[in-house]
């Protein structure tokens, strides 16, 4: 008996064409991804001087973006609890995908410390100020909403505090490459007829005036074949005895 370890047959990975099987839908979703991954307007971005000058987008802007992009959204508070001296809130932000019409969501978590009286230690629970929970809990909820929304893309503040290397918008590039893929579409019969009857001088203008068919290999193949045909006719005419 062999002592070699048993090997499992590998499951093949899908190729990009499989993933793009629904090309129309994929292209539209990519449009949404492109929008979500646009950098936020510079005026929206604020700097938190109390957190090492980290950048953030205020909750008001985030809520405006949720309404503007998804039209419909709602927030579900999943949990609130006290960890050390901070109140933490876990939320689930639900939105309706404007392309598919289906509901989607992201979870987020936020925390805010319970404020203590001036001079007291942060963990001195005897000196917690009266409105600490009243102000801390909604603040934690706002952070949680922003944390959830950031996961949708850069427009919500994703990558705001990351190093440059990670801020590449490859969603846009993928969209560009996908739209460049050759299409299996048929050429219109009228266009085929035009090519079949074209003069040598018209071939370039037919190509130039129909950019929507440049991704269909047959288009250029027919033009090339017509060019060869015209040349053969011309050569035959020249070699024919008078």
Partner 1 sequence: MQPILNQPDLTMADIASLLLRGEMRLSYSALSAFKESPAKFVEYKMRQKVTTDAMIFGSMAHCLILEPEDFDNRYFTFDDTEKCQAIGGEKPRATKAYKEWKAETIAAAGDRIIVDPQDFLYAKAIADNVKDNRAAAKILRLCPLHEKPIEWEYKNFKFHGFIDGDGEEATFDLKICADASPRKFQRTIIDMDYHMQGAMYQYGNGRVKRHYMIAADKTGGVSVHLLHDKLIEKGMDEYDRLIGKFNECILSEAWGESYEYWSDRYDGIYVAEAPNWMF
CB within 8 Å of 118: residues ≥ 6 apart: none
Binds partner 1 by CB under 8 A, chosen from 172, 187, 194, 210? 172
**The two three-digit tokens of residue 154, written as one number:** 């850069």
Q: By three-state DSSP, how is residue 51 classified?
A: coil
- x/- mask, partner 1, residues 128-167, rule CB under 8 A, reads -------------------------------------x--
State the minimum distance, in angstroms, from the CB of residue 122 to partner 1: 40
Interface positions, 92-121, toward partner 1 (CB under 8 A): none
Contact between 232 and partner 1 (CB under 8 A)? no
Task: Among 67, 221, 233, 234, indicate the residue that binds partner 1 (CB under 8 A).
Answer: 221
55 interacts with partner 1 by CB under 8 A: no
168 part of the interface to partner 1, by CB under 8 A: yes
Candidates 51, 99, 177, 196; binder of partner 1 (CB under 8 A) is: 177
The footprint of partner 1 on this chain (CB under 8 A) covers a number of residues equal to: 30
Is 196 a binding residue for partner 1 by CB under 8 A? The answer is no
Pairing verdict, β 73-83 and 54-56: unpaired
215 binds partner 1 (CB under 8 A): yes
Q: Does 180 bind partner 1 (CB under 8 A)?
A: yes
Smallest separation (angstroms) from partner 1 to the CB of 194: 14
- The backbone torsions φ and ψ at residue 96, rounded to the nearest 5 degrees and listed phi first, read -105, 120
39 is a contact residue toward partner 1 (CB under 8 A) = no
> What minimum distance in Å lies between the beta carbon of 169 and partner 1?
5
List CB contacts of 76: < 8 A, sequence separation 6 or more. Answer: 91, 92, 93, 94
Calpha distance 204→184 (Å, rounded): 23
Q: Provide the token pair at 216.
A: 């269909």
- Cα dist. 69→27, 63, 95, 225 in Å? 17, 10, 9, 49
Choose the stretch contacting partner 1; rule: CB under 8 A; options: 46-54, 124-132, 144-152, 174-182: 174-182
Q: DSSP string covering 140-191, please?
A: HHHHHHHHHHHTT-GGGTTTTTS-GGGG--HHHHHHHHHHTSPP-PPPPHHH
Virtual torsion, Cα 109, 114, 118, 123, nearest 10 deg = -100
Binding site for partner 1 (CB under 8 A): 15-16, 165, 168-170, 172-174, 176-177, 180, 182, 203-204, 207-208, 211, 214-215, 217, 219-221, 223-225, 227-228, 231
């Amino acid at each position: 008996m062999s002592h070699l370890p048993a090997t499992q047959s590998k499951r093949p990975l899908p190729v990009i064409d499989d993933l793009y099987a629904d090309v129309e839908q994929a292209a539209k979703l990519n449009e949404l991804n492109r929008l979500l991954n646009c950098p936020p307007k510079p005026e929206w971005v604020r700097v938190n001087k109390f957190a090492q000058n980290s950048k953030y987008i205020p909750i008001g802007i985030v809520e405006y973006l949720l309404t503007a992009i998804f039209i419909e959204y709602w927030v579900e508070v999943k949990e609130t609890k006290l960890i050390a001296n901070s109140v933490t809130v876990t939320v689930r932000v639900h939105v309706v995908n404007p392309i598919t019409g289906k509901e989607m969501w992201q979870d987020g978590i936020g925390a805010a410390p319970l404020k203590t009286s001036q001079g007291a230690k942060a963990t001195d629970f005897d000196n917690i100020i009266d409105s600490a929970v009243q102000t801390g809990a909604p603040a934690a909820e706002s952070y949680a909403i922003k944390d959830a929304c950031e996961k949708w893309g850069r427009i919500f503040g994703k990558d705001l505090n990351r190093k440059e290397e990670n801020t590449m918008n490859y969603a846009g590039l993928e969209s560009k490459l996908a739209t460049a893929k050759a299409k299996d579409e048929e050429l219109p019969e009228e266009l085929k007829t035009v090519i079949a009857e074209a003069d040598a001088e018209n071939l370039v203008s037919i190509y130039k005036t129909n950019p929507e068919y440049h991704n269909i290999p047959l288009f250029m193949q027919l033009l090339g074949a017509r060019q060869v045909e015209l040349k053969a006719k011309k050569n035959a005419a020249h070699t024919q005895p008078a």
